[in-house]
Amino acid sequence: MNKPGVSFINGKAVVFFDGAVYPAEAVSIASRAFAGSLVFSFKRRSGGTEAAIRPARNFDRSEFEEAVWEFAAEALNQACRFDLRGAAGAAGELLLTKAVLSAITRRGRV
C-alpha cells in the first residue's frame, strides 16, 4: 500500500494521496473530521489528490505534524470503507440476481 507523500514547509503541510489507493471523495470526507483544527484546500493532480493543510488554531510543530498524520490515517480508513462498500454492493447485486433467477426458475420461465 502506498503511504501518502507528506511535506512540511513554513508551518504548512502538503500531502499527496495516490488515486489508486485514496479516492478523492474519501480524502474529502476524512477532512471533515478535522474541520475545527485544520484548514484544507484540495487539488486534483495527475494520479491523485493533493491536500494543502494549515492549522486553524495554534499548534506547536509536533502537534501539527501529528494532526496531519491522523488526517492521513483517517483518509485511509475512508478509502477502506469505499472498498468495502463497493465489495458489498457487488455481492448484493450477485445475491439479488440469484434470487431473481431462482424466483423465475420456480415459476417455470427459464
Q: Residue 65: its pLDDT value, please?
A: 92
Range of the domain at 87: 5-106
Q: What pLDDT is recorded for position 57?
A: 86
Q: Grid coordinates in use for 94?
A: 450477485
Long-range contacts of 87-90 (CB under 8 A, 24+ apart): none
What per-residue confidence (pLDDT) applies to 109? 47
Which residues of the chain fall short of a pLDDT of 70?
Answer: 1-3, 83-110
How many independent structural domains does the chain possess?
1
Kindly report the CATH number assigned to the domain that includes residue 34: 3.30.70.60
Q: What is the pLDDT of residue 11?
A: 87
Identify the pLDDT of residue 31: 94
Whole-model pTM? 0.72
DSSP, residue by residue, 18-54: ETTTS-HHHHHHHHHTTTTTEEEEEEEETTEEEEEEE
